[in-house]
Amino acid sequence: MNGTIRQFGEKVVDGGILDRTEAEKLSALSKDHLQDVLYFANRIREKFFGNEIRVCSIVAGRLGGCDQDCAFCAQSVRHNTRIGKSVTVLTDDEILNAAKEAKEKGVPHFGIVYSGRAITEKELARIEKLIAKIKSEYGMGVCASLGIISADQARRLAKAGAERYNHNLETSERYFSKIVTTHNYSERVATITTALDAGLKVCGGGIFGIGESEADRLDMAFQLRELGVDMVPMNFLHPIEGTPLGHSKELEPMEILRIIAMYRFILPKANLKVAGGRVLNLRDLQSWIFTAGATSILTGNYLTTAGRSAEEDMQMLADLGLKIKRD
Ligand code: SF4
């Protein structure tokens, strides 16, 4: 066992936090001593989360036709993808059925996701009703991901019963403009603080494998820690033909595990939710994410790529002796 990794690991297990210099040292060591890092990432997870895992599913209430230009996303009208060029809006029944189906498969949390920069008043009024209905009829925790929201919209979502608001930073402030040019990083940070101020919990993370550096990854982790985000979705690029990143090389499975473990060290008490790219990029190593420190998964399909069935994920958790956290 590498002595520095042991020292940092014990510090975090004992309730301490790593500063930026320590995180950089750990990052440098992690490439040659990955098993040591994974060992402590797992211990940190067990210390703060026991054997409980949070599971959620999402539905694309509005898919495609987005006027923004996020380079990794198939839903932008600015990219040459089938999804980007058309807009699909699900009916109330389709959204409710998706929630019901998730509930029947044992998934306790459900998110409604809309493509686009923001939502209109009419869309918000509809989503308020859907949130209230899913909560009362199925007893699920409901989350929303609706782009940039105002303080009033955030308060209305909280009042309707939304538990969480999803809004990702995507990457570091420094790298953000290489990935998105139609809105800026400060708008993303502001939306997260707006949601928190309204009493919503925030699900905010980003995407890896988009050409970012290790320093960008660390920047985002520290920014999320500063914001107090307690649920961090970690997406791993699945390159989609027709997007600017369509020919990027996927991250190797062991590199993905290393990134998750680094985040576990830096954000010991935040849930780390492995989301897009899990199935396609990790392949047989999917169940290793928990050893790397993940405490949450998005099950079922992702927004524009296929995921894995809830049944298979539930079996994986049972086989690992992990329990689903229901509240
Ligand atoms: S990530 Fe969201 S805002 Fe960006 S292009 Fe895709 S749907 Fe639009």
Strand 296-298 to 323-324 pairing: unpaired
H/E element holding 236? strand 231-236
C-beta of 68 in contact with ligand 1 (< 6 A):
yes
Residue 116 CA to ligand 1 centre (angstroms): 6
Strand 201-203 to 164-166 pairing: parallel
Length of the chain: 327
User: CA-to-CA distance for 281 and 48, rounded, in angstroms?
Assistant: 27
Residue 115 CA to ligand 1 centre (angstroms): 6
Asked whether residue 20 is assigned to any structural domain, the reply reads no
Residue 42 CA to ligand 1 centre (angstroms): 33
Asked whether residue 3 is assigned to any structural domain, the reply reads no
* Closest by Cα among 313, 318, 322 to 291: 322
Asked whether residue 215 is assigned to any structural domain, the reply reads yes
H/E element holding 63? strand 52-63
C-beta of 191 in contact with ligand 1 (< 6 A):
no
In terms of residue numbers, what domain contains 257?
Answer: 35-319
Asked whether residue 25 is assigned to any structural domain, the reply reads no
- pTM of this structure: 0.96
Instruction: Note the pLDDT of residue 305.
Output: 66
Asked whether residue 62 is assigned to any structural domain, the reply reads yes
Which residue CA neighbors atom 4 of ligand 1 most closely?
A: 70
Residue 67 CA to ligand 1 centre (angstroms): 8
Among 72, 87, 115, 119, name the best residue to mutate to test ligand 1's pocket (greatest count of ligand atoms within 8 A of Cβ). 115
Strand 206-208 to 231-236 pairing: parallel
The total of other beta-carbon atoms located within 10 Å of residue 188's CB is 21
Instruction: Note the pLDDT of residue 302.
Output: 66
User: CA-to-CA distance for 275 and 59, rounded, in angstroms?
Assistant: 13
Q: Which atom of ligand 1 is nearest to the CA of 74?
A: 6
Residue 314 CA to ligand 1 centre (angstroms): 29
Instruction: Note the pLDDT of residue 58.
Output: 95
| CATH at residue 121 | 3.20.20.70
Instruction: Note the pLDDT of residue 306.
Output: 65
Instruction: Note the pLDDT of residue 326.
Output: 84
Residue 68 CA to ligand 1 centre (angstroms): 6
Q: Which atom of ligand 1 is nearest to the CA of 73?
A: 6
Report the number of distinct structural domains present in the chain. 1
Per-residue pLDDT for the chain (327 aa), expressed as one digit of tens each?
999 999 999 999 999 999 999 999 999 999 999 999 999 999 999 999 999 999 999 999 999 999 999 999 999 999 999 988 899 999 999 999 999 999 999 999 999 999 999 999 999 999 999 999 999 999 999 999 999 999 999 999 999 999 999 999 999 999 999 999 999 999 999 999 999 999 999 999 999 999 999 999 999 999 999 999 999 999 999 999 999 999 999 999 999 999 999 999 999 999 999 999 999 999 999 999 999 999 999 998 766 666 788 899 999 999 999 999 987
Asked whether residue 23 is assigned to any structural domain, the reply reads no
C-beta of 70 in contact with ligand 1 (< 6 A):
yes
Average pLDDT in the chain = 96
Asked whether residue 12 is assigned to any structural domain, the reply reads no
Asked whether residue 326 is assigned to any structural domain, the reply reads no
